[in-house]
Structure 1
Amino acid sequence: MTAAIRTVLGDIPPEELGVCDAHDHLFISSPALPGQELDDAAAALTELNAFAALGGRAVVQWTPWGMGPRTEELPALSRQSGVHVISATGMHQGRHYDPGELERVRGTLADLFIRELTSAPVKAGMIKVAGAHHHLDAHARHVMAAAAEAHHATGAPIGVHLEAGSAALDVIDLLCGTHGVPPHRVILGHLSRFPDTGIHRRAAEAGVFLAFDGPSRAHHATDWRLLDSLAALADAGHAHQVLLGADTVTRSARSSADGPGMPFLLSGLRPRIERELGPDFASAMFTENPARAFAVRWRQP
């Protein structure tokens, strides 16, 4: 069985992925964030085109089920921009959902995730889950158990929203320890929001992928620590496990609205990474590592 990356236009070999924004959003909505929806397809295409103009070739949308991923619109955006798009199934923190909706699907989450990964008209290529701040609440544990079941049925990678970058080791213990998910199938997101290089190193030693993202989030004020965190991982021999994404989650963060957006990864961060950490490390972060993180020997349950 050959490994493939599942995009919204179908499965592709890993070597076709190209330069990748490994964590972002083209569409997203939540009752917890009124008025901050990303729901404009034309604006999403503008962002993809700007990313492609700088050499970007792939974007991973981490918007899970129930948060307005508008999955049916992603194939057209991918075709029009020439950018591969990977979409997500999964579930975020409970606060992002109507309580009645949560109760309706609570007992069938694994089946829902498996269906979106294997038989939906536009298939997802990953599972998104989320922790709470410095701990895993009951909702997170329930969703992660379902995600692990879906992983074992399909092989899909699991991307984890770490609230403020915290609880990384708790997630590894639960997914990889309790539920037996291979570490290389887990991607920990938002580590730049918790710039503790000791925690990063311990997570990397466990074998997971580490995603640094969010230059769009000015209020987190951790961009200035990013290169230090990346250098520490490279020095410890973990350069092959690091991913980078823009995590654009508000309209004002998009490049078309004078924010950094997706293009900043390539116009701002990549030159600095190449200069300070070397072109080989930059190539690993943007191309080789995401190709391995999202490539799966897919199983059909």
Structure 2
Amino acid sequence: MPAPKPLLVATDLDRTMIYSGAAAGATESATVCVEHLDGAPLSYMTARGADRMRRLAATAAVLPTTTRTIAQFGRIRFPGEPWPYAVTSNGGNILVDGRPDGQWRRRIDAAVRTGGATLAEIATALRARIDDSWVLKFREADDLFCYLVVDLAATPADFVSEWDTWCRDRGWSASRQGRKIYTMPTAVCKSRAVAEVRARLIASGRLDAAAPTLAAGDGALDAEMLVAADHAIRPRHGELEELGWQRPGLIVTAATGIAAGAEIIDWFTAALPDQVLAAEPTS
């Protein structure tokens, strides 16, 4: 069996590692497309960042950790795949060699049932509060949570805060990331899924028990994961930046947009033990 990996990297994807053309920002770096939708290019990384991620995945335990549904995650060709584990649906699903882990999902479903309102109850209450003048799409995701795609300019200024307050008393929460407003059960969070994968990797001998966990993310749904990690980084953009969110020891990138993604990968790589870094070819 190969030696245990010395580092666990749990990273959000959208607007942390990968970027739409609109979210990428001004860049002089060469880019590579890592996602297509209906045959059209959709998401990108810098070419250097993609190369560094492939190298990182060969030496560290990299765990893609996303709020995307299983199907949406399946569109991404994230450098370093195939992934032994991935976290989707904001922690509601753990993929093992690309397949949903039924045992984990049953645990999550039980936690949601005991935690408060059902998805059907939340969806009904949400639909009663929205209309087509500012909501472009309403979606339920993997039978776990729901989200809106909105016209930001037309969205009532106090909607998210008022809706979040209503949800909190029922075991749910609301947050906005870009044009999406998520309504999520508190039982569904990335940090719990990352802890589960970490335990499995250690038990199987694939991760050193003393390996630190590093995490990256840009949105409020990433905050718990960043707090739970040994070391954390966020880009200088996104919801957490707008909130001025901090935690002790948090690193904030110097760059914004797609260049921040490459900077985060360099930060992950620099955390590898010296002997691993010494064995890496120079770029």
Structure 2-normalised TM-score? 0.35
Q: Name the structure with the higher helix share.
A: 1
